[in-house]
């Protein structure tokens, strides 16, 4: 699920997203941000004009690449538990199947 899809889906209800979905939303956004940073870094490294790589790096990462690691193991455990156990979140995700 992409970051924009996650944000769009959670913004459509009046309350945002239910609290029991917070680990799923947080995991998805952290994963997307880590992947985005990695992709931007690779694009800069492979930029065809070598003289513009450093200025581009400074423009995109003014504080340096922050080394986003994505979700930690405790968050991954919460997500896995939410999906494996029979919870209302699991029922919403699976559409009651």
- Supply φ then ψ for residue 24, to 5 degrees: -65, -45
Q: What is the pLDDT of residues 43-55, one digit of tens each?
A: 999 999 999 999 9
Q: Which helix (H) or strand (E) holds 88?
A: helix 88-94
Q: Are 34 and 69 in contact (CB under 8 A)?
A: yes
Residue spans of the domains in the chain: they are: 3-94
Q: Are 77 and 84 in contact (CB under 8 A)?
A: no
Highest mean pLDDT, choosing among 11-15, 16-20, 80-84: 80-84
What is the predicted pLDDT for the residue at 49? Answer: 95
* Mean pLDDT value across residues 19-45: 90
Higher pLDDT, 80 or 2: 80
Q: Tell me which of 7-16, 49-58, 72-81 is least confident.
A: 7-16
Interval 1-22 mean pLDDT: 63
Residue 29: which H helix or E strand, with range?
helix 22-45
């Amino acid at each position: 699920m992409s970051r924009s899809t996650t944000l769009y889906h959670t913004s459509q209800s009046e309350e945002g997203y239910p609290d029991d979905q917070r680990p799923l939303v947080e995991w998805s956004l952290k994963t997307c941000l880590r992947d985005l940073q990695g992709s931007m870094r690779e694009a800069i490294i492979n930029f065809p004009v070598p003289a513009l790589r450093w200025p581009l790096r400074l423009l995109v990462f003014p504080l340096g690449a922050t080394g986003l690691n994505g979700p930690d193991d405790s968050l991954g455990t919460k997500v896995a538990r939410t999906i494996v156990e029979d919870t209302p979140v699991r029922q919403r995700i699976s559409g009651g199947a």
